[in-house]
């Protein structure tokens, strides 16, 4: 996560907004169980190449978070642009048409995407990561194969219900 840390620090120094995008391949374990690990690795490579191509086109930095998750950092991009970019990735993966019988209702490999658009000042790296992770969770909970945006423009992390300040 050194890349992430460095980009957050640079955006904070420069007063730029930062967008962090998390991408997760839907039902990836089921894909591996159905088609085997060799095919699962090929899917990771294909989707990774697509994401990398889009990231290079937009000046973003892409990295693999582990398993079937990828992250993208975009600096100086507003929330609307970031969502359009994320939607383009989502639809492009679906259009690859990689068969996935264990992924109803689509029948092809899809991705869920969480977008965190933030004002970095006052936020920690883990706050930004958590916001993107929450957005990704919302995409999955809403049926997968979609993009969800969460924004924090205040630089203040809202406290979760039931938690107490330390």
Q: Output the six-digit token pair for 20.
A: 């962090």
Question: Does the annotation count 94 as an active-site position?
Answer: no
Q: Which of 32, 133, 46, 30 is nearest to 94 (CA)?
A: 46
* Beta-carbon-side half-sphere exposure of residue 63 (alpha carbons within 13 Å): 11
Give bridge partners of residue 137 from the DSSP assignment.
none
Q: Which of 1, 40, 28, 44 is nearest to 132 (CA)?
A: 1
Catalytic residue among 7, 39, 68, 160: 68
Q: Output the six-digit token pair for 99.
A: 């068969």
Active site residues: 68
């Amino acid at each position: 996560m050194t890349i992430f840390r460095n980009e957050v620090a640079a955006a904070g120094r420069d007063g730029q907004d930062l967008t962090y995008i998390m991408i997760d391949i839907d039902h990836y374990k089921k894909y591996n169980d159905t088609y085997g690990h060799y095919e699962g690795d090929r899917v990771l490579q294909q989707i990774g190449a697509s994401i990398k191509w889009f990231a290079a086109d937009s000046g973003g930095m892409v990295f693999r978070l582990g398993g079937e998750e990828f992250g993208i950092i975009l600096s100086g991009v507003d929330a609307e642009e970031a969502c359009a970019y994320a939607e383009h990735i989502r639809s492009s993966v679906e259009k690859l048409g990689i068969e996935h019988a264990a992924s109803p209702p689509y029948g092809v490999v899809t991705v869920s995407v969480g977008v965190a658009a933030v004002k970095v000042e006052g936020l920690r790296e883990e706050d930004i990561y958590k916001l993107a992770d929450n957005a990704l969770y919302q995409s999955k909970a809403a049926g997968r194969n979609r993009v969800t945006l969460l924004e924090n423009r205040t630089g203040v992390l809202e406290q979760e219900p039931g938690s107490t300040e330390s």
